[in-house]
Structure 1
Amino acid sequence: MQTLNVLDNRFSPFNTYSTLRTDAHVAGTFTNTVFDKRQILAFMTQLQTTLDIDKLLNIFAVEAARYVDFSGLYFKSQSVNKTLPGSRKAKKERRFDLTITDDFIGTLSYGINSPISLTNYKVLQQLHLCLLHPLRNAIAYHAAMQLAMQDALTGLGNRRYFDEQLKRSMHNANRHHSLVGLVLGDLDKFKAINDAYGHVTGDLVLREFANVLRQCTRNSDSIFRFGGDEFAIIVENADETALAIIENRINLALTTNVLLSKYQLGCSIGTTFMNRVDNEMSFFERADEILYRSKMQAAAHLSVV
């Protein structure tokens, strides 16, 4: 895979009054197109209308498609990994490193089926220059939003993020006629651990349990901590056994994980699938009721023991 550096050049040809005539790929044929300063300004104005990375890449892709025949567009940075919707596998991949001076923004990769001409390659570099600052701003905004939606102790999503993601997941499930499941967990004996060993140990246990949840779920599942010792997992595109599998994995991990088994940590779990008449409240309340019954059973068992 070839890597090409795009440098921040304040003396870009797009900053002059000259016009750049290049080949544009239109409807399967190449025609001459004038790319003048007004077009550049219009393009840059479009790029500055959003801080959403997906929308930004889509705006960019529409313009880039005039000059490059690509079937896929991919952006990757340290914190972001995006694929343009509709991207398909191509014969080759051409990758560009996007940088502003010494500040590395990320890599932009094109899936291409035919070579990029030297003229169009130069135009593409100039388009990247237009993208650099809007993209860096969008990444910074994305990072700030992630922090606002994140539990500081465990790195999991917080309750605010859960509410948004649950609504989005239910909408997608209704739209695509797929299953979405909800797993609620409430730690047993956690208060006793805090009281006996202190909050430093309690925080260590919470972080380790969060890691266990990551190991027990798929990358596509969303995990949250509500605060205290309450956790939730949203399972999209699930099958009928998915929730049972996750519950069994969690229970097994509680007995095999060195740290959690040392403190005899337990977890009451409530699981349910969304039905077509659910709203966010009814879906959550049903899982919460099942969790409550599970917790009462656990408490009854402990009292007998």
Structure 2
Amino acid sequence: MTISSSSGNSSRRKKVTPLDVKRPQEMAREPGTSFLRELRLRISSLSQTTLELEQIVQYFFDEVQSAVLVEGLTYAHPSFGVDLQYGSLEKHRASYRLNTQQQYFGEITFSRRKRFNETELARLESLLDLFIYPVRNGLQYREALRSAMTDPLTGVGNRLAMNNALDREIELARRYGRPLTVLMLDIDKFKAINDIYGHAKGDDVLCTVAEYIEQSMRSVDAVFRLGGEEFLIVLSDTSLAQAVIIGERIRQSIEVSHQGSASEPHVTASIGISEFAPNMSADDLIKRADRAMYCAKEKGRNKIECAPA
């Protein structure tokens, strides 16, 4: 494990392997450290009760305070989109970059209003081996969940992720009276694209369409691939009129970016829009958008149609 640390205005760099970290039997020989043995056992036990990364970091923050006064803790791993903070972020900080020989596991920062002394820093470092391996497991679990909810080709959400998101959005729409709309998008004549240009090109089209959908959405919206060439876009807190604007932006971006040539297909999409009503189920909402989408195809494709109120 490689540790880089800083505290207040001073800094130091230090390389520590797992064998360098003090073990319980070594700390037992040091005066006044019996509570650290118990703390290590408690942290170890708590870390084995969950694979949820947020809970692992919370347990560590709660328990480490019995050894060193810590007012705030942050843990971040940009590659996994993790940025967690507990307590308050104060002036004086001790930051550690967590590595093993095989992998980087993010950075942890302890902070408080008073500068850390050398004894406290050594005590924090002695506990980090209890943090890094549960965090590794938590990151692996997080990635497994993400993979289970992601379409492997396009990288957008899959049907399972859609079901979870839509159930959540419908509950919020019912509880707070917020508008909710969904867009069903189908790539026009996709079978012909596969037949003429090949399935590899068809896969490229699916990926680029997914990218243009994401670029045309707001950050609060979500897109899911339902299979084949169909995508569902969930627009939270969005009226039917607003959904038409977003849908038209998506439709135009796909058409403009795929004009077609001898080696590239001309790509367009038909979109159906459905607005949520309190008596609707998720299935009702999707079916209405699906019918509207087929209506757009019947009217010549590359169009947007709204489900009747």
Same fold (TM over 0.5): yes
1:265: which partner in 2?
A: 267
Give the AA of the match of 2:71: F
Q: Distance in 2 between matches of 1:237 and 1:94?
A: 41
Whether the 8 Å contact between 2:71 and 2:89 is mirrored in structure 1 is no
Q: Deviations over 1:76-131 (max 9, x none)?
A: 142232324x7666557653211124521112245654433433333322332211
Whether the 8 Å contact between 1:149 and 1:158 is mirrored in structure 2 is yes
Q: Does 1:47 align with 2:29?
A: no
Percent identity for Structure 1 against Structure 2:
26
Cα offset for 1:263?
2.7
Q: Deviations over 1:240-291 (max 9, x none)?
A: 7653342122122123214669633221212344444443323333333333
Pair 254,36 (structure 1): closer, same or farther in 2 beyond 3 Å = closer
Question: Which deviates further from its counterpart, 204-213 or 8-17?
Answer: 8-17
Matched ranges for 1:144-293 at <5 A: 144-173=144-173, 178-236=178-236, 238=238, 242-258=242-258, 263-293=265-295
Q: Distance in 2 between matches of 1:248 and 1:293?
A: 16
Q: Deviations over 1:2-53 (max 9, x none)?
A: 586674423533422528899xxxxxxxxxx973323321211111111121
Residue 18 of structure 1, aligned match among 5, 23, 28: 28
| SS of structure 2 residue aligned to 1:283 | helix
Whether the 8 Å contact between 1:185 and 1:269 is mirrored in structure 2 is yes
Give the AA of the match of 1:268: S
Q: Distance in 1 between matches of 2:176 and 2:138?
A: 29
Q: Deviations over 1:207-235 (max 9, x none)?
A: 11111112112344322112110012233
Whether the 8 Å contact between 2:184 and 2:233 is mirrored in structure 1 is yes
2:125: which partner in 1?
A: 125
Q: Distance in 2 between matches of 1:161 and 1:270?
A: 20
Question: Which deviates further from its counterpart, 186-195 or 233-242?
Answer: 233-242
Cα offset for 1:183?
2.3
Whether the 8 Å contact between 1:53 and 1:138 is mirrored in structure 2 is yes
Pair 123,293 (structure 1): closer, same or farther in 2 beyond 3 Å = farther
2:307: which partner in 1?
A: none
Cα offset for 1:176?
6.3
2:62: which partner in 1?
A: 62
With the length of structure 1 as denominator, give the TM-score of the two structures.
0.78
1:73: which partner in 2?
A: 74
Q: Distance in 2 between matches of 1:71 and 1:273?
A: 44
Give the AA of the match of 1:95: S
With the length of structure 2 as denominator, give the TM-score of the two structures.
0.77
Pair 300,79 (structure 1): closer, same or farther in 2 beyond 3 Å = closer
TM-align CA RMSD: 3.5
Pair 222,7 (structure 1): closer, same or farther in 2 beyond 3 Å = farther
Cα offset for 1:186?
1.0
Aligned length: 290
Pair 42,64 (structure 1): closer, same or farther in 2 beyond 3 Å = closer
Pair 212,138 (structure 1): closer, same or farther in 2 beyond 3 Å = same
| Runs of at least 5 residues in structure 1 that lack an aligned partner in the other structure | 23-32
Whether the 8 Å contact between 1:73 and 1:110 is mirrored in structure 2 is yes
Pair 171,202 (structure 1): closer, same or farther in 2 beyond 3 Å = same
Cα offset for 1:68?
4.3
Q: Distance in 2 between matches of 1:273 and 1:197?
A: 36
Q: Deviations over 1:118-175 (max 9, x none)?
A: 3333332233221111111121222223222222221222112222222234345556
